[in-house]
Amino acid sequence: MSPPSPALAASIQAATSEIYLIDADTLHLIDANQAARHNLQYDQDQLAAMTPLDLAPGLARADLERLLASLGDEVGAQVALRTRHRRADGSWYPVKLCFLRIVRDGRSLLLGIGDDLSREHAAAAALEQYQARYNAVVSHTPGLVYQFVLHADGAIGFPYLSEASAALLGLPAMRLQAEPGLFLDLVLPEDRKGYLEAMQESKASLANWNWEGRIWIDAWHDVKWINLRATPQLLPDGAVQWDGIMTNITDSKNEHAELMASRARLAELTAHLEQAKEQERTRIAREIHDDLGGNLTAIKMALAMLAARLPLDAALADKAAYLDGLVDRTIDAVHRIALDLRPPTLDLGIVAALEWQAREFEKQAGIACVFRSPNKDIALDPDHASALFRIFQEALTNIAKHAGATRVTVTLRRERRHLLLTIRDNGRGIAPADRLKPQSFGLRSMSERAHALGGTLALSGAPGGGTMVAIKIRLVAPIPPRLASRTDARHNE
């Protein structure tokens, strides 16, 4: 009677890996566990007539025999290979096979262990697909995608750098990864403090790291502006890693600088034009007052003398009275025009000038206007005084036209090296859209004048309703009266 055929133990039958008991001489499958039968879709009788070469038709016999021969005769030795098994339905799946030499009842056997690699291959394929997508996104990103890590001991590193490193920084990614300190060397000395402070602040609060600064590209002998935006995360070992992007903002910085310079030149031109306009107004006002006013006064005196010598004729007397009244009205008109061009109160100081304008506004617009100033006088050079006076006039004009107010409160005070003028009304207020109207020239004029004075103009809602305008300008030393008179004389030449 022949001995019973060897079989797999019950515990091996329940294993999740495919396990085969193989005759070492013929390579026939003596037994296979449940996982093998399930994966291959063969029953035990069908498997008993097969060899590993039948399960893996793509595996050459010579390669398998060479691999098994490398086991030698030592029990427990093992070898492995990767191949593909074909199921009964013709489908394939990747598998890793490991062969061990064993002996049972004096018979030389092989124990084959197979691990289905389908999930591993699917995961690798998915990872490869994601990596391809990531690479595509990075390659089309206008900047350098990077990872930066700051270790607990202060050491730094760049775990990842995209290929844009060479184009942006003039350093290949591999070199910068090998020598991460080179990046700080690129940053201009005057910008390094800001760079390091921004890094430490982001590390401390784990808030986004946003920094703009200049770097020197030695290879190109050029300075670039870069913007760095990165998101931090705390690593288990106490290090902080940032994932972010660096972009070249040199063009936008240059455009911004050019725009600022253009605005500065425009502001200078505006200030010059306003100054020239005020000087011309002053000149015309003086000529009107001195020449026309003097001539009209002489005419009035001559008319009075002639009227006294006229014969007793009612018609002539009426005509003389009419001419005398006409001269008086003309003198009033000349006085009014001269006041509009340049109020003489400006020569008495800005406090007196604004107080006078507030009273005039109250009389002309019929709107109560309260003026307050804790300072009796504030030294201000003539150009600044004229500009501030015009801003005040424009603000009152806007209130009269648009606010629907019944009361205006004006405060002028000195705060150390600044002068603060606030104009508050109790009208309907100003909507945000009103400030953006294309034809809001009054507000623009006020703002431009304030900027020309090196100050600011703020427009906001007043407590309890209405609008508040706040003008703040820096005080400068006024021009001495003698020098101011000489300046006016030169302009009048």
Q: What pLDDT was estimated at residue 134? A: 63
Q: Please give the CATH architecture assigned to the domain spanning 345-492.
A: 2-Layer Sandwich (3.30)
At 57-93, the pLDDT tens digits run: 999 999 998 998 888 777 778 899 999 999 999 999 9
pLDDT band at 440 (very low <50, low <70, confident <90, very high): low
Q: What pLDDT was estimated at residue 432? A: 61
Between 342 and 15, name the one with better pLDDT. 15
Task: Round to the nearest angstrom and report the end-to-end CA distance of the chain.
Answer: 142
Task: Tell me which residue has tokens 């290979």.
Answer: 81
If DSSP codes are grouped into helix, strand and coil, which group holds residue 219?
coil
Amino acid at 42: Y
For the segment 453-466, the average pLDDT, to the nearest whole number, is 80
Q: What pLDDT was estimated at residue 4? A: 61
Asked if residue 488 has pLDDT above 50, the reply is no
Give the span between the Cα atoms of 147 and 243, in whole angstroms.
Answer: 5
Q: What pLDDT was estimated at residue 212? A: 95
Q: What pLDDT was estimated at residue 491? A: 39
- φ, ψ of residue 75 to 5 degrees: the values are -70, 135
Between 8 and 201, name the one with better pLDDT. 201
Between 138 and 97, name the one with better pLDDT. 97
Query: Could you tell me which of 282, 274, 270 has the C-alpha nearest to residue 490?
Result: 282
Looking at every residue in the chain, the average pLDDT score rounds to: 83
Q: What pLDDT was estimated at residue 183? A: 95
pTM to 2 decimal places: 0.47
pLDDT band at 482 (very low <50, low <70, confident <90, very high): very low
Asked if residue 280 has pLDDT above 80, the reply is no
pLDDT band at 35 (very low <50, low <70, confident <90, very high): very high
pLDDT band at 485 (very low <50, low <70, confident <90, very high): very low
| Edge-to-edge strand list for the sheet holding 144-150 | 156-161, 144-150, 240-248, 222-234, 209-217
Asked if residue 99 has pLDDT above 80, the reply is yes
CB within 8 Å of 148: residues ≥ 6 apart: 156, 157, 158, 230, 241, 242, 244
If DSSP codes are grouped into helix, strand and coil, which group holds residue 482?
helix
Q: What pLDDT was estimated at residue 477? A: 56
For residue 206, give Cα distances in angstroms to 151, 202, 224, 239, 371.
Answer: 14, 5, 28, 12, 52
pLDDT band at 433 (very low <50, low <70, confident <90, very high): low
Q: What pLDDT was estimated at residue 300? A: 77
Q: What pLDDT was estimated at residue 289? A: 66
Determine contact, residues 380/350, Cβ cutoff 8 Å: yes
Determine contact, residues 189/177, Cβ cutoff 8 Å: no
For the segment 229-234, the average pLDDT, to the nearest whole number, is 95
Q: Which two tokens stand for residue 421?
A: 């003028």
Q: Which of 153-162, 170-179, 449-458 has the lowest mean pLDDT?
A: 449-458
Query: Could you tell me which of 373, 339, 384 has the C-alpha nearest to residue 357?
Result: 339
Asked if residue 323 has pLDDT above 90, the reply is no
Give the span between the Cα atoms of 207 and 45, in whole angstroms.
Answer: 66
Asked if residue 435 has pLDDT above 60, the reply is no
For the segment 465-489, the average pLDDT, to the nearest whole number, is 64
Asked if residue 194 has pLDDT above 90, the reply is yes
For the segment 302-308, the average pLDDT, to the nearest whole number, is 80
**Element spanning 120, H or E:** helix 118-139
For the segment 329-351, the average pLDDT, to the nearest whole number, is 76
At 378-392, the pLDDT tens digits run: 887 777 888 888 888
Q: What pLDDT was estimated at residue 136? A: 64
CATH class of 10-117: alpha beta
pLDDT band at 441 (very low <50, low <70, confident <90, very high): low
pLDDT band at 227 (very low <50, low <70, confident <90, very high): very high
Please provide the size of the chain in residues: 493
Domain 141-248 is found in CATH 3.30.450.20 = yes
Asked if residue 483 has pLDDT above 80, the reply is no
Residue 467, CA atoms < 13 Å, CB-side half-sphere: 21
Q: Which of 109-118, 143-152, 428-437, 464-473 has the lowest mean pLDDT?
A: 428-437
Q: Which two tokens stand for residue 211?
A: 């920094």
Q: Residue 187 carries which DSSP code?
A: B
Q: Which two tokens stand for residue 481?
A: 């009266």
Q: Which two tokens stand for residue 479?
A: 């021009």
Q: What percent of the chain has pLDDT over 70?
A: 88
